[in-house]
């Protein structure tokens, strides 16, 4: 297993579940977004998802859409994200996974993107708009470049497609709690536990749950069932509302980790 998978598995063994925060690269500005990484490491996160801003949202709710729009207004470029990640590598030990549209990867060049991501310090990629079977060749190239592939399964994913996705994953499976968009929710939808267990019956890959995870009680609900939880909108909203975003996000993440 890679460093990312190792860290998630270790957190699951030690605490019942791993907490994996999401940051929007370049929001509220590039320097602050990169400062969040060592802060999240100090808070006990097992890894972090770095979102590459994209103009056409895939499954992003309004909070993350607005953050991406703001980052793009500032003229953020892909290479700036890579350079920012590389510059902070000595400041933290978090394994990072890139959430990026295939449009960005395609324009950059698949092999060039993978090479640069690996050099910068990424451990894995999520390309949410590249489903199987189209994803197969790209997944091979990602793996050949030394990165893991993370793919998404939703409650509405047909059994055959679910099997294909599990086969293509070399990192963890990202299970969407709902077949919708990201965003904070008071309660998680019913059936998550059963659906995670069903996925684990068809694969030995780790399974992490995202979409709607924002409260300590959500973390406790999934502890011992999922391997990890991804927390996005809750973090981005705190950045938006805070005058001290790095400190506030660190405290929020520590709360979630303590709930394990």
Decide if pLDDT at 180 tops 70. no
Mean pLDDT over 245-249 rounds to 98
What whole-number distance in Å separates Cα of residue 64 and Cα of residue 57? 9
What's residue 136's pLDDT? Answer: 94
56 versus 35: the higher-pLDDT residue is: 35
Mean pLDDT over 111-116 rounds to 98
What's residue 38's pLDDT? Answer: 98
CB hemisphere CA count around 232 (13 angstroms): 25
**Cα 129 vs. chain centroid, distance in angstroms?**
14
φ, ψ of residue 229 to 5 degrees: the values are: -125, 140
What whole-number distance in Å separates Cα of residue 205 and Cα of residue 79? 31
**Cα 209 vs. chain centroid, distance in angstroms?**
10
Cβ atoms 19, 41 nearer than 8 A: no
Beta strands in 89-235 (DSSP E): 96-99, 122-126, 148-153, 173-176, 207-210, 228-231
Cβ atoms 155, 191 nearer than 8 A: yes
Token pair in block for residue 245: 């975003």
| 52-56, 88-92, 203-207, 233-237: least confidently modelled range | 52-56
For residue range 116-128, list pLDDT tens digits in order: 999 999 999 999 9
pLDDT band at 190 (very low <50, low <70, confident <90, very high): confident
End-to-end CA distance of the chain: 23
Mean pLDDT over 58-74 rounds to 86
Q: Is the dihedral of CA 231, 233, 236, 241 positive or negative?
A: negative
Domains of the chain from N-terminus onward: 3-258 (3.20.20.70)
pLDDT band at 199 (very low <50, low <70, confident <90, very high): very high
- Please give the DSSP secondary-structure letter assigned to residue 84: H
Mean pLDDT over 94-98 rounds to 97
For residue range 210-240, list pLDDT tens digits in order: 988 999 999 999 999 999 999 999 999 999 9
What's residue 179's pLDDT? Answer: 61
> Measured between alpha carbons, how far is residue 76 from residues 160, 163, 181 in Å?
39, 37, 24
Q: What is the pTM of this model?
A: 0.94
Instruction: Name the residues annotated as catalytic.
Output: 49, 60
């Amino acid at each position: 297993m890679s460093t990312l998978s190792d860290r998630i598995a270790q957190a699951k063994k030690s605490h019942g579940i791993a907490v994996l925060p999401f940051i929007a690269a370049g929001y509220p500005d590039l320097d602050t977004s990169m400062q969040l990484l060592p802060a999240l490491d100090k808070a006990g996160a097992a890894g972090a998802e770095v979102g590459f801003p994209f103009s056409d949202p895939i499954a992003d709710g309004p909070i993350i859409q607005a953050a991406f729009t703001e980052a793009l207004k500032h003229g953020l470029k892909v290479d700036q994200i890579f350079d920012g990640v590389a510059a902070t590598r000595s400041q933290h030990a978090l394994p990072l996974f890139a959430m990026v549209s295939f449009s960005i990867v395609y324009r950059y060049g698949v092999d060039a993107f993978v090479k640069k991501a690996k050099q910068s310090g990424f451990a894995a990629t999520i390309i949410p708009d590249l489903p199987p079977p189209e994803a197969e060749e790209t997944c091979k190239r990602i793996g050949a470049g030394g990165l893991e592939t993370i793919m998404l399964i939703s409650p509405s994913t047909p059994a055959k497609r679910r099997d294909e996705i599990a086969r293509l994953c070399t990192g963890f499976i990202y299970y969407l709690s709902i077949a919708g968009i990201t965003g904070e929710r008071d309660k998680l939808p019913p059936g998550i536990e059963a659906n995670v267990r069903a996925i684990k019956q068809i694969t030995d890959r780790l399974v992490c749950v995202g979409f709607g995870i924002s409260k300590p009680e959500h973390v406790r609900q999934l502890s011992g069932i999922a391997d990890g939880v991804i927390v996005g909108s809750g973090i981005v909203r705190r950045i938006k509302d805070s005058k001290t975003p790095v400190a506030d996000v660190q405290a929020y993440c520590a709360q979630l980790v303590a709930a394990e």
